[in-house]
Structure 1
Amino acid sequence: MASLALPGTGIQELCSQIALAGEGITHAIGLGGRDLSREVGGISALTALEMLSADEKSEVLAFVFKNRLPKLCV
């Protein structure tokens, strides 16, 4: 399991719940609060997705974020 998230409690909660279920996490990557804005264009998310796609140990990917931005780049 790998997770991408904006900084904060979302990634912490996700990792805690996965651990409580007896599973492991290969990576937990914080993206920065404005990475998904149109101005930034998701550069950290795209870089992380590229890295994780090459990691054979990461079988599941969770993407956690709060939509606080007026316009997302997606």
Structure 2
Amino acid sequence: MTKMALIPTAMSTPRALLVGVELRSISSMLTIHDSLDELEQLANTGGMSVVGRIYQKLSVPNSATYMVQGKLPN
């Protein structure tokens, strides 16, 4: 008799890394932490698991990557 292998069919939970930029030139009623908290709630509502947060305070965003190069390898 031949043994048959089980094929996993369960879907894994989508993961999200939250990324934010706070511009020094723009004043806001919300802090970057408040904005990322709201984004995390939206991700959780969408069934995602938040695995981390990255944010920067910049004068202007980098037009090619939005964040500076130092944060990209993370």
TM over 0.5: no
Q: Write 1 or 2 for the structure with the bigger share of helix.
A: 1
TM-score normalised per structure 2: 0.44
Higher relative contact order (CA 8 A, sep 6+): 1
TM-score normalised per structure 1: 0.44
Q: Write 1 or 2 for the structure with the bigger share of strand.
A: 2
